[in-house]
Amino acid sequence: MNLVAETYEDVAEKALDDLREEVGRPKIQHKKMSIYT
């Protein structure tokens, strides 16, 4: 159970890093928007 919790936190941390990069790089944000559509 503890291992799963740690993995979940790690994934959330990576997601936050991706969001920060998106804010700093419009090109990446545009790519992600295309994927969502």
Q: Give the SS3 label for residue 26.
A: helix
Q: How many Å apart are CA 11 and CA 31, to the nearest integer?
A: 20
User: Taking all residues of the chain, what is their mean pLDDT, rounded to a whole number?
Assistant: 72
What is the reported pTM?
A: 0.41
Amino acid at 23: V
Q: How many Å apart are CA 33 and CA 27, to the nearest integer?
A: 10
Residue burial 7-20, b: 16+ Cβ < 10 Å; e: rest: eeeeeeeeeeeeee
pLDDT digit string (tens) for 1-37?
Answer: 567 767 888 888 988 888 887 776 666 555 666 655 4
